[in-house]
Structure 1
């Protein structure tokens, strides 16, 4: 009989890819949904890619902000993969909009797992929980943590950091065997047209929305590699109690734009870097731009050495992940030709 894995937020961009990896590896997957009417959407996204020996996909209705349904969702499962968390394009005016559901939701889900005797947990965190802005332009790794007390730390970074810290505290207190996967900017091809805000940056570049680009960059990873790392974490007991950065390398905005311009030369994709004073002026009118001000002038870099050495990961290159995203968006008409 196949093991059953509870996968939270199964309708998400990353979660669908994780579900596909788990199912094709022979696991049964019980995916949680806040809205049960999305079950058909998720099933339709996965079915074309399932192998002959794939596990069974079922669903459970739950909400990160409610206790209802979690005990039932945990019944009979051997492991929990917790991916569900809010992910914004622009930072909200009220940080609690992100922080509260991320932290309380993680606490609720992990405590429900412990109560049900489910001790194996893989948590999707983020490199924003790793990157410490007091050490700009340095290569950071799993020993580093975001400083949530810095005034420049975004609500999203706080939400992911506090949620991950809460997970580690609960794991220690309740005897959970926890692994965290900390992805950078997740690119790559979606499995369907419901991919949330993850590819919003690539859409913005392809549409030429900005005349010039801010001087900054960040770690990038392909969604297929993120999913593979969740699978390997479950399959390898030696990953328990450890964090793993999921990143193939870093790219500056301008390098991303030039890569896309080379692939789509007829598109009006900006390739010039904007002076910082112009970006700060634009941020007065655009909340998406305002959210990146603390990172201006910096290339965020993280080490993937642990994932390579301990998980045997061979990452898809950042440029390849970027182009896979763009190709999918163009092919599916998400940006005008």
Structure 2
């Protein structure tokens, strides 16, 4: 057991909750931020689903990425910070700035609070969206941590916000970090076990398939299990070799959505009977994207090779992630077990 205290921002988030599970299991005390204390019971219940009754080893502070209030209190006395709170696709964002401003300013708020509180290291949950989008088709593959998304290309606002907020974080550390260390973890599509009904937009991809979504988009991505993303956060937090480094959280080759659909049907049998293995024509998606914001964000990714490698984390930090197949199937099984599917 350790008495060290770690702040995990955005405690209602899917990755954040799995990070809390890893930390609590490793003996750390955890403080987490929420926008409302009304969600404390829900977060504690999700952790119980994950096998941990946190008790008084978990505490809550109200803090919002768009306000200074609460962040000094949140960071006070903490040895480390895992910062994953970020605006995600909710449908509320209208202008590009609605994505970018809270992401950039939120990161800077957390970094300032961490620096001022004497925190040793911040592990930033960034994204593949800061690495592998907007590039020309002839860009070398697979993507690795030396790559940054090309914002002069066709980049959706969410990926743009991830790129600009991570860049702003590294710039802050270089200019005014005052000894604060930074490491980033850049996950690809994150699957693995859901803990409750409030899950990530990546898990919604599996939910939609199992609920009978009519067809698959012609897109591919690498994937990773959320338990391994959390494990990588812990390694990035404590290993001296991780200081100042970026780590892609990904395993294996990228998969087309049709391959994910076929895997679900093959492994789940009757539970996957509604899964479609038809592929939507690209032109149909482009037309629908003119009036559907969610599909519009997908259009730049149609038929775009998103292969990436996680070998750096394996080599430097001894990270040993589960297979793509286990990440996908464990995700689907958790949705079934928790009763989160239609019908």
**After alignment, is 269-278 or 108-117 more displaced?**
269-278
Tell me the distance in 2 between the aligned counterparts of 1:56 and 1:206: 37
CA deviation after TM superposition for structure 1 residue 92, in Å: 3.9
Tell whether the 8 Å contact from 1:26 to 1:53 is kept in structure 2 after alignment. no
Aligned to 2:309: 303
Tell me the distance in 2 between the aligned counterparts of 1:86 and 1:78: 25
CA deviation after TM superposition for structure 1 residue 13, in Å: 0.6
User: Are residue 142 (structure 1) and residue 148 (structure 2) matched?
Assistant: no
Task: Select 1:246's aligned residue among 232, 249, 261.
Answer: 249
Per-residue CA distance 1:166-215 (angstroms, 9 max, x = gap): 111111121321110000011111223322433111111112222x3222
Aligned to 1:204: 208
In structure 1, the residue corresponding to 2:236 is in which secondary structure? helix
Aligned to 2:161: 159
Aligned to 2:278: 272
Tell me the distance in 2 between the aligned counterparts of 1:316 and 1:269: 24
Tell me the distance in 1 between the aligned counterparts of 2:287 and 2:53: 55
Tell whether the 8 Å contact from 1:213 to 1:253 is kept in structure 2 after alignment. yes
Q: Relative to 1, partners in 2 of residues 1:255 and 1:34: Cα closer, same or farther, differing over 3 Å?
A: same
Task: Select 1:189's aligned residue among 165, 168, 193.
Answer: 193
Q: Relative to 1, partners in 2 of residues 1:91 and 1:299: Cα closer, same or farther, differing over 3 Å?
A: farther
Tell me the distance in 2 between the aligned counterparts of 1:330 and 1:37: 27
Aligned to 2:66: 65
Q: Relative to 1, partners in 2 of residues 1:133 and 1:57: Cα closer, same or farther, differing over 3 Å?
A: same
User: Which runs of 5 or more structure 2 residues have no equivalent in the other structure?
Assistant: none
CA deviation after TM superposition for structure 1 residue 52, in Å: 9.3
Tell whether the 8 Å contact from 2:12 to 2:39 is kept in structure 1 after alignment. yes
CA deviation after TM superposition for structure 1 residue 237, in Å: 1.4
Q: Relative to 1, partners in 2 of residues 1:52 and 1:192: Cα closer, same or farther, differing over 3 Å?
A: closer
CA deviation after TM superposition for structure 1 residue 38, in Å: 1.1
Aligned to 1:213: 216
CA deviation after TM superposition for structure 1 residue 42, in Å: 1.3
CA deviation after TM superposition for structure 1 residue 245, in Å: 0.2
Aligned to 1:98: 99
Tell whether the 8 Å contact from 1:103 to 1:166 is kept in structure 2 after alignment. yes
In structure 2, the residue corresponding to 1:141 is in which secondary structure? coil
Aligned to 2:264: 260
Tell me the distance in 2 between the aligned counterparts of 1:231 and 1:319: 23
In structure 2, the residue corresponding to 1:298 is in which secondary structure? coil
Per-residue CA distance 1:126-179 (angstroms, 9 max, x = gap): 0110104324372110000011232x1110011111111111111112132111
Tell whether the 8 Å contact from 2:103 to 2:162 is kept in structure 1 after alignment. yes
Aligned to 1:314: 320
Q: Relative to 1, partners in 2 of residues 1:332 and 1:54: Cα closer, same or farther, differing over 3 Å?
A: closer
Tell me the distance in 1 between the aligned counterparts of 2:330 and 2:65: 32
Aligned to 2:45: 44
Aligned to 2:184: 180
**After alignment, is 265-274 or 317-326 more displaced?**
265-274
CA deviation after TM superposition for structure 1 residue 19, in Å: 0.4
**After alignment, is 91-100 or 104-113 more displaced?**
91-100
Tell whether the 8 Å contact from 1:79 to 1:121 is kept in structure 2 after alignment. yes
Q: Relative to 1, partners in 2 of residues 1:8 and 1:312: Cα closer, same or farther, differing over 3 Å?
A: same
Q: Relative to 1, partners in 2 of residues 1:95 and 1:7: Cα closer, same or farther, differing over 3 Å?
A: same
Q: State the superposition RMSD in angstroms.
A: 2.1
How many residues get paired? 335
Aligned to 1:170: 172
Tell me the distance in 1 between the aligned counterparts of 2:12 and 2:274: 33
CA deviation after TM superposition for structure 1 residue 64, in Å: 0.7
* TM-score (norm: length of structure 2): 0.92
